[in-house]
Structure 1
Amino acid sequence: MRNLLTDVRGVSVGNAHDTAAATGVTAILFDRPTTASAAVLGGGPGTRDTALLEPEMTVEHIDAIVLSGGSAWGLSAADGAMSWLASQGRGFPVAGHRIPIVPQAILFDLANGGDKSWAAGTRESPYRRLGAEAAATAATEFALGTAGAGFGATTVNLKGGLGSASARAATGQMVGAVVAVNAVGSATIGDGPHFWAAPYEQDGESGGRGWPEKISPDDLALRFKGGTGQNTTIALVATDAVLTKAQAKRLALAAHDGLGRALRPAHAPLDGDIVFAAATGYSGAPSDAFALTELCATAADVLARAVARGIHAATALPFARALPSWRDRFGD
């Protein structure tokens, strides 16, 4: 057990980033065509090829999912991942060609202090290159914190980042999550070190601080970062179970509870919060609706833990007025 998404059999993850631009890409690859769906509960999503994940749509399987910074410019990251997958002979066969199926979601990291001159049209954006690099380096081990799609991510009070976690459900099947936390609000309670996701933490993975002695009205006051469109938390949950697209959709919807437990607020009009769900199919189908519910509940818990781990592992960007990391503020 690595306590990473890659504890789910059939999944690998690659990260790539541009340090000067303070942005990055995470590519989640599946070792064979995989059933997937998605659920968007934020009010301002930025996505690519997510409509085909709806249960009634024709395409049954995908090859990869890409998470990226860059706002709408970041959507070209999937082009790079597709090119690399095509070079490996992956993709949906059509008229003698193979078309890799790579849905994507993006977050807004244009205001974090990095060099975004490509956003003014003065040079090409780095995302196609980063998408290919992330896909080419996909492995079972990958970095958390200021890495991949979480490289330029922020929250209202702390540096955001890439998080991941895993657990074995009561059914015996594995569930994992990866998330780029770029929330409009906070993953921590008030001005202290305690995570909203603390009840779900395992083995001190996000600092082991637990709950504060009390939660005051001031701690519950909403705090907002930035303005319209400057946020979004994007995530994937996966299981080694056999699921239909409709069941994967249910898994994605249920996993959103993890964002609600770990972030205050989540699913806001200014967010594009999305959760993808994938089922690699190595461990058999859930036996009944109760078994599927076990997978759904585990996915929500794992995603909440992944959010806290992403903040806990992050390091601050080296720019003036950059937000501090959790460790800068609270130590180890």
Structure 2
Amino acid sequence: MGLSVGDAVRTARTSGQKLIRLERKHNGPAYVFMTPWLLGMILLTAGSMLFTIYLAFTNYDLLSQPRWGGLQNFRQLISDPNFWTSIRVTLIYVLVSVPVRLVAALFVATLVNKHVRGMGIYRALIYLPSLVGGSVGASIGWRVLFDQNGPINAVLRIFGIQGPVWLGNPATALIVLVLLSAWQFGSEMVIFLAGLKQIPTYLYEAATIDGATLWQRYRRITLPMLSPIIFFNLLMGTISSFMVFTQVYVITDGGPMNSTLFYVLYLYQQGFQYFHMGYAAAMAVVLLIIVAICTGFLFLTSKFWVSYDV
């Protein structure tokens, strides 16, 4: 005799509950291994973000208890000329350095995507600057390199060119930092190189048979196939460029004449030099909003040029 509909439903529900309990039992070790990450996420990341948002609405100087101030810090931001200067300088840096870095990384990745003896050594040497690029030592070396009496101007003098005061001139100080960013394209290059190796060779062979030139093959095959990787590097590069600090602090410290007063550097000055921690927290919240808007804009526009078709 067959089961009724009600019995079948109850049997299926019981079997589903047993399966869920069995899955939870097997997932136990996974949750144990995830515990350190979860604790770090909750206590160090989420907890810190919530506390920063709270401090943004307070008057806090690191030495006394926070006092609720409402929107006072945000109103002060609107009337702070250095705040707007830091936004302008950071946006210029992002809009210039990120494309320059991506173009350099893609160009070099295309060059080293060859089966040549010793190519691994060349790739390692090219990748090396990205390992030390954000360090204090590399920043000091870059400052010495572009000093008025440094190696760059010494080379220019050989050709009869009087080099500028790179770090003392508002017109060139930001260029030095952009060049430092472009020098550190190793990480993006490795990602581009991995993407280039995943492009099927038969696409190039078919295009060659059809009479496509090298540039046509690159524009019609390479760039569309790499568009998801270009988008990833563009997204990560934009976010990291908004948070540049060490290089600016060591090389220029915001000078001359605030021409390199980056947003995070000004935030640091307000929080840890002037002890305006509530004001710095408000700046951090605004930075989070700016980065979120830029990220959302990149995702919205990506549907017009990023292709995931293989």
State TM-score, norm by structure 2: 0.29
Structure with the bigger percentage of strand? 1
Structure 1 or 2, whichever has the larger Rg, is 2
